[in-house]
Amino acid sequence: MCQISWSILSLVKSLTAVVIALALVGCGFQLRGQDLINSGYSYVVSGEAKDSRLARELSARLSQSGVLAQDAAEITVELIDVRRQQVDGAVTAEAMLLEQAVRIDVRFRIVDAAGEELQAESTLSRQRYFRLDRSNLLATAAVKEQVAESLEDELIAQLLRSLNLVQQMRGVSDAG
Contacts of 40 (CB under 8 A, 6+ apart): none
Strands 43-46 and 117-131: unpaired
SS3 state of residue 133: coil
From first to last of its 176 residues, the chain has per-residue pLDDT tens of 455 566 777 777 877 877 777 666 666 544 444 566 667 788 999 999 999 999 999 999 999 988 888 778 899 999 999 999 988 876 666 666 788 889 999 999 999 999 899 999 999 999 999 888 777 877 788 888 999 999 999 999 999 999 888 888 877 666 55
**Stretch (H or E) spanning 94:** none
- How many C-beta neighbours within 10 Å does residue 131 have? 11
Q: Which phi and psi (to 5°) does residue 65 adopt?
A: -80, -10
User: Residue 33's pLDDT is what?
Assistant: 47
